[in-house]
Amino acid sequence: MKAKQCLYASLLAAVVMGLTVVPALNVQAQTTACQTCTACSACKLNQPPEGFVALFNGKDLTGWKGLVGNPKTRAKMSPDELAKAQEKADENMRAHWKVIDGVLHFDGKGQSLCTDKDYGDFEMLVDWKIEAKGDSGIYLRGSPQVQIWDTALTNVGAQVGSGGLYNNQKNPSKPKKKADKPVGEWNTFRIIMIGEKVTVILNGVIVVDNVILENYWDRSQPIYPTGQIELQNHGNDLYFRNIYIREIPREKGTNKLNKREERRGFKQLFNGEDLTGWQGNTKGYAVKDGIMICDPSLGGGGNLYTADEYGDFIFRFEFRLNPGTNNGLGIRMPGNSNAAYHGMELQILDDTSPRYTGWLKDWQHHGSIYGVVAAKQGHLKPVGEWNSQTVIARGKKIKIRLNGETIVDADIEEASTPKTLDGKDHPGLKREKGYIGFCGHGDHVEFRNIRIKSLD
């Protein structure tokens, strides 16, 4: 039994880190197994998975403080006023938030709890449990909120389920699905916040999918760039455990060739300032802080491709995915066409997202030559971090390296004989030359440091 329990622990850690290990085992099943496991250290409470740090140590309230007002009221306080208010709030916190057997328990009589530290972009994991008529939420960057409530409270609309961005007015506020477990059982949130957008996965089910979180305190302004994380209460007993966070750094694009690339004859395809040298759907892409952004709000669909055509080449680029992002890299494509068939489309995809659980084909995972060659899985970095990819095309030979690992090394003629993996005709496999471009499918994705060496 111990071996099986440790297997569940390793699978959960892989899912948390964004690795596709066993598609048939979903996050919910893995979480449940690990929560009942005591046979291995990986299953102990409040022990962060790799890449995360614990916000709650399971022993005391280190790293937490009592809530003082809201971002606007705190900003108006003098340092002395804020210090006095914080001292009072901390006293209240210690009276009503207790640690019992590794669980953070609120007795329903005090104020909300918040982190000592402010956070910008992050991925957060947290287990929560409520009692009958329970009502709570998690504030992100000090702003309400990812909703938690008893779905039996139909008089306030709780039948839609937890996880929604309750205080949104312009953008969706309700969860896409109801994924709550029965009252009294533990639930698990995976919350990812990048920029203004939030994704919430509840018990392995996507309930909020890249939705803008509005600024409740000042609706004329976007959400604050940083802020504290708060555990909200409405006067009910609440329980939290396994609270972990992975901060996602905000990095700008450098868009410079290194000396070795200069010597080898590489050239930049993206100047970091505008879309000079690119054509196609230029209105669906924006440039900010040295980063090329496929922006759905601008119509980020269709192809953005190079001004010149290439046959054989070494193409390098870096990309950063949002949860569930779907895009592609078209090569040897005839301009504004369906690159997957009229050229070749190399998948750019957050294939770790529950959005794709259970139906994604091997040849649809990240890095695959769509419909033709399946890439090796498990080498994407966690969502929100920058990945580095190299594509080498020499005649019928295509090699793809992701973060230093070769994930495709194929002869496309052999791979399509007697037929392709998807069983469809791919006339683009016969093309010897064409444009290189990004194939937007309506999702947010970022690119930087795009360079090429022609081998023609």
Distance, CA of 77 to CA of 282 (rounded, Å): 46
Query: Is the confidence at residue 69, as pLDDT, over 80?
Result: yes
CA 444 from chain centre, in angstroms, equals 11
Cα angle value 354/355/356 (rounded, 5°): 85
What's residue 43's pLDDT? 56
259-454: same fold as 45-247? Answer: yes
* 170 burial level (CB within 10 Å; 0-12, 13-18, 19+): exposed
380 or 41, higher pLDDT: 380
Peptide bond into 145 cis (omega under 30): yes
**Most distant CA pair in the chain, distance:** 77
pLDDT in tens, 352-384: 999 998 899 999 999 999 999 999 999 999 999
pLDDT in tens, 141-160: 999 999 999 999 999 999 99
37 or 288, higher pLDDT: 288
Q: Are 24 and 357 in contact (CB under 8 A)?
A: no
> 24: pLDDT confidence band, cut at 50, 70 and 90?
very low
Place of tokens 């995976």: 190
- Of all residues in the chain, the percent with pLDDT exceeding 70 is 90
Ordered DSSP codes for 227-278:
EEEEEEESSS-EEEEEEEEEE-----------HHHHHHT-EES--SSS-TTE
What's residue 158's pLDDT? 97
What's residue 337's pLDDT? 83
CA distance between the termini of the chain: 58
pLDDT in tens, 133-142: 999 999 999 9
From 310, 282, 308, select the one nearest 438 (Cα to Cα): 282
Distance, CA of 442 to CA of 300 (rounded, Å): 5
- The mean pLDDT value for 194-214 works out to 96
Query: Is the confidence at residue 202, as pLDDT, over 60?
Result: yes
Ordered DSSP codes for 23-89:
TTS-HHHHHHHHHT--SSGGGSTT-PPTT-EES--SSS-TTEEE--S-HHHHHHS-HHHHHHHHHHH
Q: What is the residue-averaged pLDDT of the chain?
A: 89
Q: How many CA atoms lie within 13 A of 208 on its CB side?
A: 30
- The mean pLDDT value for 317-344 works out to 93
Least confident of 42-51, 200-209, 380-389: 42-51
Beta bridge partners of 194: 197
From 105, 115, 116, 112, select the one nearest 67 (Cα to Cα): 112
From 141, 385, 431, select the one nearest 249 (Cα to Cα): 385
> 336: pLDDT confidence band, cut at 50, 70 and 90?
confident
Domain ranges of the chain: 1-44, 45-247, 259-454
Query: Is the confidence at residue 41, as pLDDT, over 70?
Result: no
Cα angle value 15/376/257 (rounded, 5°): 100
What's residue 308's pLDDT? 96
- The mean pLDDT value for 201-206 works out to 96
* Residues near 79 by beta carbon (within 8 Å), at least 6 away in sequence: none
Task: Decide which of 3.30.70.870, 3.40.50.300, 2.60.120.920, 2.60.120.560 is the CATH code for 45-247.
Answer: 2.60.120.560
- The mean pLDDT value for 209-214 works out to 95
pLDDT in tens, 248-293: 998 888 899 999 999 999 999 999 999 999 999 999 999 999 999 9
Tokens of 409: 């090394």
What's residue 253's pLDDT? 84
259-454 — its CATH code? 2.60.120.560
> Does the reported pTM lie above 0.85?
no
